[in-house]
């Protein structure tokens, strides 16, 4: 399960319905062009929290059908509705996904015992492995080393997608749990995380920048830090331009410029202006 995983973008048509043809093209682009080691399906980058349960299932089905066993697949099943999370976990497991992931429950101010019960409830209803998805900036849920240790007591919890800039905590988790998988979740900080010996990374910009992400990770593992820093610099130049232009919309427009039917984002995400579409095309020409 080590390596570089794309947080998969999902293609939608102008009415917000899953565009199967486009989704399959995005999957193939990630495998054949970006050469990533796996796909993280129905995460934030896939606009998961804007979709119905049926739409999420459709995405799981299409991606598994396209991938077969070419690369590893992680299914993000987290939802505020615990019954939906369990249902999606069972569905993805039956499809043959290699592991599950679930964002910490959000919006309400859940205490840690409630967060722990959420994960244990999902896992007691399914025969699969779990990767905790920790992204405090969006969920408001921060956990300390002792709390991660409690979650890891469940043998089915095999690791964490760590999307936080707290490198002290990241190092402490790595030191305390050498046998757990740690994936870096901030694309712009991949090198810094790789130096701390993470097991891989999961990122949205890997849809268009996966090859560089693999370079950074490999160079860091070989202690070729100066070379890795140069690749991270180019990567961060691209990320800065993407963020200034509109994250998910711009990634889709870069993919379109490469001939991939990446479609549109679901409302309430807005469409890019013509100027921003042109910016995205320029990024594709410059970086891809």
Name the residues annotated as catalytic.
Answer: 133, 161
pLDDT value at position 171? 98
Number of other residues whose CB lies within 10 A of the CB of residue 195: 15
Q: If you average pLDDT over residues 225-235, what whole number do you get?
A: 98
pLDDT 10s digits, 39-76: 999 999 999 999 999 999 999 999 999 999 999 999 99
Residue ranges for the binding site?
44-45, 163, 185, 187-188, 202, 204
Residue ranges for the binding site for pyruvate?
202
What is the distance of C-alpha 245 from the center of its chain? 20
Average pLDDT over all residues of the chain: 98
Percent of residues, the chain, with pLDDT higher than 90:
99
Q: Which fold has domain 3-224?
A: TIM Barrel (3.20.20)
Q: If you average pLDDT over residues 22-30, what whole number do you get?
A: 98
200 backbone dihedrals φ, ψ, rounded to 5°:
160, -165
pLDDT value at position 174? 98
pLDDT value at position 230? 98
pLDDT value at position 32? 98
Residue ranges for the binding site for aceneuramate?
44-45, 163, 185, 187-188, 204
pLDDT value at position 284? 98
Under DSSP, is residue 287 helix (H, G, I), strand (E, B) or coil?
A: helix
pLDDT value at position 262? 98
pLDDT 10s digits, 264-277: 999 999 999 999 99
What would the two tokens of residue 91 be? 């569905």
114 backbone dihedrals φ, ψ, rounded to 5°:
-70, -40
Under DSSP, is residue 127 helix (H, G, I), strand (E, B) or coil?
A: coil
pLDDT value at position 84? 98
| Exposure of 244 in the CB half-sphere (CA atoms within 13 A) | 10
Closest CA to 74 of 64, 84, 87: 64
pLDDT value at position 37? 98
What's the predicted TM-score (pTM) here? 0.98
Q: Does the bond joining 268 to the residue before it have cis omega, within 30 degrees of 0?
A: yes
d(CA 2, CA 119): 22
pLDDT 10s digits, 80-108: 999 999 999 999 999 999 999 999 999 99
pLDDT value at position 231? 98
pLDDT 10s digits, 204-224: 999 999 999 999 999 999 999
pLDDT 10s digits, 177-186: 999 999 999 9
pLDDT value at position 259? 98
d(CA 2, CA 138): 25
pLDDT value at position 215? 98
pLDDT value at position 165? 95
Contact 77, 42 (CB under 8 A): yes
Domain ranges, ordered by start, for the chain: 3-224
d(CA 111, CA 118): 11
């Amino acid at each position: 399960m080590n390596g570089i995983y794309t947080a998969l973008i999902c293609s939608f048509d102008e009415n917000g319905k899953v565009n199967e043809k486009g989704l399959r093209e995005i999957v193939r682009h990630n495998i054949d062009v970006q050469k990533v080691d796996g796909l993280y399906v129905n995460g934030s980058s896939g606009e998961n929290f804007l979709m119905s349960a049926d739409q999420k299932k459709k995405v799981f089905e299409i991606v598994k059908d396209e991938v077969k066993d070419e690369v590893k697949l992680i299914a993000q099943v987290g939802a505020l509705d615990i019954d939906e999370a369990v249902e999606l976990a069972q569905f993805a497991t039956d499809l043959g996904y290699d592991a599950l992931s679930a964002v910490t429950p959000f919006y309400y101010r859940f205490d840690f015992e409630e967060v722990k019960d959420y994960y244990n409830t999902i896992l007691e209803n399914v025969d699969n492995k779990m990767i905790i998805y920790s992204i405090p900036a969006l969920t408001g849920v921060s956990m300390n080393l002792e709390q991660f240790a409690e979650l890891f007591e469940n043998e089915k919890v095999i690791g964490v997608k760590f999307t936080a800039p707290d490198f002290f905590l990241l190092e402490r988790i790595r030191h305390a749990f050498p046998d757990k998988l740690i994936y870096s979740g901030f694309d712009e900080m991949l090198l810094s995380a790789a130096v701390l010996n993470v097991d891989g990374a999961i990122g949205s910009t890997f849809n268009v920048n996966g090859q560089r992400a693999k370079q950074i990770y490999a160079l860091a593992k070989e202690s070729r830090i100066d070379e890795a820093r140069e690749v991270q610099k180019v990567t961060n130049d691209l990320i800065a331009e993407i963020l200034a232009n509109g994250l998910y919309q711009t990634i889709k427009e870069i993919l379109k410029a490469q001939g991939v039917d990446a479609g549109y984002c679901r409302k309430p995400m807005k469409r890019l202006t013509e100027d921003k579409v042109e910016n995205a095309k320029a990024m594709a020409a410059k970086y891809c």
